[in-house]
């Protein structure tokens, strides 16, 4: 089929830079490799690094809309509203998740701890009255994510034939885009990526093309990834309209262990990404919007089994990339976001034979369960805590009843400031201050306007504030504006917090909004305080130090960090591998020295791994003594720049750069491990890998040696009742 329309333009997540349009790109990442880059070149590039991230290689414009600048923003959960509860009934802030959905639509969604809400429009929606039913809802939520349907391929959920869903999707998608061009629309998820359900999607695409004369347009694909049978009335069932293909479905009497088989889970995500590529949708995000373990401890899915499955799935979806299948704007990751089922469904009761496994909170008591604590512990180590408020624009309007006329003395002028948050956590109580003259040079504070009680960490959302001002006399006025919030210590980039515009009074208005590039004022809590150009010594409102190219040290092997004081390490291995480590200002409770050094004769490689480059160790010390088993409160960012990858402990070898990963050495287990290390950015074109980790150890870039055979699932099977649902969300059922 013809390629679908392009998705909304989104800048790459990666601080690794975009390629120069004239630069020769590398050949595919699977190749026979040699060392091609000279150390001198690497050193020249290294000198351009101004943060711990993979550096710009010139004067490229930095990413204007990062996808997920912190891994926790990818992690979500499903809220069950049975029993009249909502997300506000649970203390979800302790989960450190980034988003949620509740199978519904909300006029004023709750955003606890800055979590993003995904709206869902069910197929029961009357598509002949969209303006009446959802018009004001869309108006109230500009830039929102709208998921169109929930499991349209399943009876008991949003059951529709492919033709019916194609029609529903077209009507709602068209309405949303006309009403709010900034809306982000997602295809409703199928239950699982099995042959019969991919056939269902094939038929949806064909019906859409046939009926509307164009490929199905979308911004996002969603997928559920349960492992369920299909040839019976429980489980996923045969999709509506595909009864003739029932033999393609998963048999009812399937091995019980397959419900929690992490290998099958991973394979189905790869399969769906293959389907996306084959149909022209590779360059689109994929959200696994519901999955988990539904079957109970009585069927072999005890708490430890569910816990291990959940954390293994997190590791896979956060870290797995594929240069041929993944989303190019997200370092070729296979999955962009995912949601665990569920936050709070009813627990299974053997007395009544109903309920589900895998809950994070107890539905009735609202208590965090052990599995919820595991989720929280995992996510907390993957929060890169910073805000990046951007004053995106300043605009001015003449009085609306006299549009186009010159602005005269005493005419009220409305100046609108538009902001967004490019950071990783919400900024609270954001205001815009308006100044007559430069604020750091004695400018007069004209007023302060509240903009957002919570600026969410998603630059798809913009917030605006209006300031009305009457010029006292004729002449040319330069109005300056800057931003404030209640958490300025988290602000990463003060330079984009400000703008200015020039207004001519008496003559026809001349408005020239330009970025403010003069001295950067320090955010303060008080609206009437004068900002200064000098940063307060007690606060470092950046995740990492900002350095000019001439001041960047080639090497910095030790740094003192403290509460409110960030730090950075720079190190070159014996093989020319460049390592930059950034430690956030909130990473420690007391002053701590962080050091980096080479480690000779790395242990434990043998035939298990290929070593790509030298080994380095990062340690934490206080009063000269090494802190054993020390863990940072918030993770450090490690960026590694490597030469063309040739394994050091072997001859020339075929290396897939998607397999190059930063490992740490676990001295107790005497093994190289990945747990606790999470990928931020992979840029194979520039040999750059960026990760986060909260613990200290010896680290090395490694490629796994060929793996052994995948363990075979046990052959046990069982015939169990399955949980079905309605358009109001899942409900319990004993249907056989």
Tell me the three-class secondary structure of 615-639, residue by residue. EEEEEEEECCEECCCCEEEEEEEEE
Residue 22 has pLDDT above 90, yes or no: no
Contact status, residue 638 vs residue 693, Cβ threshold 8 Å: yes
Q: Tell me, yes or no, if the pTM score tops 0.85.
A: no
Distances (CA, A) of 695 to 228, 528, 663: 38, 42, 12
Every domain range in the chain assigned CATH 2.60.40.10 = 389-515
Please tell me the chain's helix, strand, coil percentages from 3-state DSSP, rounded to the nearest 5: 20, 30, 50
Other CB atoms within 10 A of residue 591 CB: 12
Per-residue pLDDT at 521: 36
Name the average pLDDT for the chain. 83
Q: What percent of the chain has pLDDT over 90?
A: 67
CA 587 from chain center: how many Å? 21
Helices (H) and strands (E) counted in the chain, each on its own, are 7, 34
Q: Which of 105, 158, 157 is nearest to 135 (CA)?
A: 105
Contact status, residue 662 vs residue 677, Cβ threshold 8 Å: yes
Residue 20 has pLDDT above 70, yes or no: no
Per-residue pLDDT at 253: 80
Least confident segment among 452-466, 538-552, 587-601: 538-552
CA gap 661, 672 in Å, rounded: 11
Per-residue pLDDT at 61: 37
CA gap 95, 103 in Å, rounded: 20
Helix (H, G, I), strand (E, B) or coil at 338: strand
Contact status, residue 190 vs residue 276, Cβ threshold 8 Å: no
Contact status, residue 701 vs residue 679, Cβ threshold 8 Å: no
DSSP 8-state code for residue 492: S
Every domain range in the chain assigned CATH 3.20.20.80 = 71-383+723-730
Cβ-Cβ contacts under 8 Å for 75 (sequence gap 6 or more):
96, 97, 98, 99, 314, 337, 338, 340, 375, 379, 382
pLDDT in tens, 324-334: 999 999 999 99
Rounded to 10 degrees, the C-alpha dihedral 81/85/91/96 comes to: 20
Least confident segment among 144-153, 287-296, 705-714: 705-714
Q: Is the peptide bond before 245 cis (omega within 30 degrees of 0)?
A: no
Q: Which tokens in the block code for residue 735?
A: 């249907």
Distances (CA, A) of 700 to 108, 572, 609, 666: 47, 13, 11, 12
Q: Which tokens in the block code for residue 299?
A: 């069927």
Rounded to 10 degrees, the C-alpha dihedral 462/106/131/143 comes to: 20
CA gap 660, 609 in Å, rounded: 10
Q: Which tokens in the block code for residue 475?
A: 């002449």
Contact status, residue 279 vs residue 205, Cβ threshold 8 Å: yes
Helix (H, G, I), strand (E, B) or coil at 319: helix
Instruction: Taking residues 244-248, report their average pLDDT.
Output: 97
Which has more confidence, 511 or 280?
280
pLDDT in tens, 554-578: 799 999 999 989 999 999 987 788 9
Specify burial of residue 544 (Cβ count, 10 A radius: 0-12, 13-18, 19+).
Answer: buried
Which has more confidence, 171 or 715?
171
Contact status, residue 387 vs residue 378, Cβ threshold 8 Å: no
Instruction: Taking residues 167-179, report their average pLDDT.
Output: 99
pLDDT in tens, 641-688: 988 765 555 545 567 788 899 999 999 999 999 999 999 999 888 889
Beta partners for residue 590, in sequence order: none
Cβ-Cβ contacts under 8 Å for 309 (sequence gap 6 or more):
260, 262, 265, 293
CA gap 697, 716 in Å, rounded: 42
DSSP characters over 17-84: PPPPTTSPPPPPSEEE----S-HHHHHHHHTT--SSSPPPSSSPPPPSS-S-SSGGGGEEEEPP-GGG
Least confident segment among 120-134, 191-205, 506-520: 506-520
Per-residue pLDDT at 186: 99
Instruction: Taking residues 374-394, report their average pLDDT.
Output: 96
Strands across the sheet with 444-455, in order? 444-455, 427-436, 475-484, 498-505, 514-515
CA gap 298, 308 in Å, rounded: 17
CA gap 188, 201 in Å, rounded: 11
Residue 162 has pLDDT above 80, yes or no: yes
- CATH architecture for residues 71-383+723-730: Alpha-Beta Barrel (3.20)
Q: Which CATH superfamily is domain 389-515 in?
A: Immunoglobulins (2.60.40.10)
CA gap 331, 704 in Å, rounded: 20
Q: Which tokens in the block code for residue 241?
A: 């309209």
Per-residue pLDDT at 717: 32
CA gap 569, 61 in Å, rounded: 25
Q: Which tokens in the block code for residue 256?
A: 């019980």
Other CB atoms within 10 A of residue 349 CB: 11
Q: Which tokens in the block code for residue 593?
A: 């020295």
CA gap 334, 330 in Å, rounded: 9
Contact status, residue 64 vs residue 11, Cβ threshold 8 Å: yes
Residue 509 has pLDDT above 50, yes or no: no
Which has more confidence, 57 or 380?
380
Cβ-Cβ contacts under 8 Å for 600 (sequence gap 6 or more):
615
Task: State the alpha helices, DSSP H only, in 515-633.
Answer: none
Per-residue burial over 636-657, b = 16 or more CB atoms within 10 Å of its CB, e = otherwise = bbbbbbbbebbbeeeeeeebbb
Least confident segment among 139-148, 225-234, 240-249: 225-234
């Amino acid at each position: 089929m013809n390629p679908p329309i392009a998705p909304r333009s989104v800048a790459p997540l990666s601080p690794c830079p975009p390629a120069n349009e004239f630069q020769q790109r590398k050949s595919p990442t699977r190749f026979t490799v040699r060392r091609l880059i000279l150390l001198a070149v690497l050193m020249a590039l290294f000198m351009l690094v101004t943060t711990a991230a993979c550096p710009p290689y010139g004067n490229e414009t930095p990413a204007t809309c990062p996808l997920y600048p912190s891994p926790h923003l990818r992690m979500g959960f499903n809220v069950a509203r049975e029993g009249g509860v909502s997300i506000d009934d649970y203390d979800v802030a302790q989960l450190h998740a980034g988003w949620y959905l509740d199978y519904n639509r909300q006029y004023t969604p709750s955003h606890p701890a800055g979590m993003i809400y995904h709206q869902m429009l069910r197929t029961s929606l009357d598509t002949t009255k969209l303006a009446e039913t959802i018009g004001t809802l869309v108006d109230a939520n500009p830039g929102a994510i709208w998921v169109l349907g929930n499991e349209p391929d399943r009876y008991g959920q949003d059951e529709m034939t492919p033709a019916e869903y194609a029609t529903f999707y077209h009507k709602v998608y068209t309405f949303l885009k006309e009403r709010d061009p900034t809306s982000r629309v997602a295809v409703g998820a199928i239950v699982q990526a099995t042959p019969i359900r991919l056939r269902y999607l094939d038929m949806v695409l064909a019906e859409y093309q046939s009926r509307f004369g164009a490929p199905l347009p979308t911004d996002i694909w969603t997928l559920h990834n349960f492992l369920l049978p299909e040839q019976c009335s429980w489980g996923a069932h045969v999709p509506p309209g595909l009864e003739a293909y029932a033999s393609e479905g998963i048999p009812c009497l399937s091995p019980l262990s397959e419900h929690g088989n992490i290998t099958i889970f991973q394979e189905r995500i790869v399969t769906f990404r293959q389907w996306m590529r084959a149909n022209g949708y590779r360059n689109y995000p994929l959200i696994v919007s519901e999955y988990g373990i539904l079957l109970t401890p009585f069927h072999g899915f005890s708490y430890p089994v569910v816990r291990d499955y959940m954390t293994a799935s997190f590791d896979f979806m956060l870290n797995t990339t594929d240069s041929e299948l993944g989303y190019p704007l997200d370092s070729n990751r296979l999955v962009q976001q995912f949601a665990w089922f569920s936050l709070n469904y009813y627990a299974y009761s053997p007395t009544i034979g109903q309920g589900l496994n895998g809950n994070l909170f107890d539905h009735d008591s609202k208590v965090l369960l052990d599995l919820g604590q595991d989720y929280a512990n995992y996510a907390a180590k993957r929060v890169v805590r910073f805000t990046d408020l951007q004053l995106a624009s300043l605009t001015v309007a003449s009085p609306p009843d006299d549009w186009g006329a010159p602005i005269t003395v005493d005419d009220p002028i409305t100046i609108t400031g538009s902001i967004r948050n490019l950071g990783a956590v919400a900024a609270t109580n954001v205001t815009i201050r308006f100044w007559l003259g430069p604020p750091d040079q004695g400018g007069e504070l004209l007023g302060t306007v509240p903009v957002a009680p919570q600026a969410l960490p998603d630059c798809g959302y913009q917030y605006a504030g209006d300031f009305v001002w009457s010029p006292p006399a004729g002449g040319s006025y330069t109005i300056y504006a800057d931003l404030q919030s209640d958490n300025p210590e988290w602000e990463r980039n003060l330079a984009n917090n400000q703008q200015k515009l020039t207004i001519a009074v008496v003559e026809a208005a001349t408005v020239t909004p330009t970025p403010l590039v003069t001295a950067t004022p320090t955010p303060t809590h008080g609206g009437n305080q004068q900002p200064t150009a000098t940063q307060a010594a007690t606060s470092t409102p950046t995740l990492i130090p900002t350095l000019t190219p001439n001041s960047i040290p080639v090497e910095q092997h030790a740094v003192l960090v403290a509460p409110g004081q960030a730090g950075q390490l720079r190190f070159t291995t014996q093989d020319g591998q460049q390592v930059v480590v950034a430690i956030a200002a909130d990473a420690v409770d007391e002053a701590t020295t962080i050091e980096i050094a080479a480690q000779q004769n790395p242990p434990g490689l043998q035939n298990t791994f290929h070593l790509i480059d030298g080994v380095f160790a990062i340690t934490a010390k206080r009063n000269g003594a090494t802190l054993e088993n020390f863990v940072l409160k918030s993770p450090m960012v490690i960026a590694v720049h490597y030469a063309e990858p040739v394994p050091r402990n072997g001859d020339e070898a075929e290396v897939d750069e998607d397999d190059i990963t930063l490992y740490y050495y676990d001295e107790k287990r005497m093994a190289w491990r990945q747990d606790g290390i999470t990928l931020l950015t992979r840029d194979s074109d520039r040999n750059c890998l960026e990760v986060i980790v909260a613990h200290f150890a010896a680290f090395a870039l490694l490629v796994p040696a060929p793996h052994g055979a995948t363990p075979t699932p046990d052959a046990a099977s069982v015939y169990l009742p399955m949980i079905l649902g309605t358009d109001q969300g899942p409900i319990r059922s004993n249907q056989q």
